[in-house]
Structure 1
Amino acid sequence: MAYYKATDSKCEQFQRYLEKSKVLDILTKVLVAFYEEPEKPNSALEFLKHHLGATSPENLEIALLHLELAEMKEKYEAVVEENKKQSKACSA
């Protein structure tokens, strides 16, 4: 059993490292973007490489900004809808 505890500890440390360095956030955002892609690309690997900025560090930052923009647009639309519902409820 001691072996499993040591492994769990290493896994937990590695997971905390990935969380602290934002790797999990970046991977999650890219995978969500891939999932939400209306037309799936022929090469999933190329899609991931492109969105992770495999060609240059600047591309990664741009891809993250695009993902963040998409998230903000979704939040904005949700707030607009919520405001419309509240406006209708107040006027009724």
Structure 2
Amino acid sequence: MKRMALTVAAAIFMLSSVPAFAEMTQGQKDECLLASKNCTAQVDDIYKRMHKLDKEIKKGNRVYTPAELQKLRDKLQETQDMLKDMELGGGN
């Protein structure tokens, strides 16, 4: 009887922790964009990079510190400048 109760309690505990784990992974920082970490086999074109940076910036203070948000904004501006430079033909 005790074994059955412990098994049921363990199952309930495991099932209740799954949503918490899912919430944690959804709100995680994109370390690849922020600090060039965990970028295994991740190559983006310039438009995809700008979209990802904008998406991360929109997460705001609930995920990033103000310093990290500024770093993301700077990277977005740098990427936009790079695109503009490429469109104008390399700054001739």
The answer to which structure, 1 or 2, has the higher relative contact order (CA under 8 A, 6+ apart) is 2
Same fold (TM over 0.5): no
TM-score, normalization by structure 1: 0.34
> Who wins on radius of gyration, i.e. which is larger?
2
Larger helix share, 1 or 2: 1
Query: What TM-score do the two structures reach when normalised by structure 2?
Result: 0.34
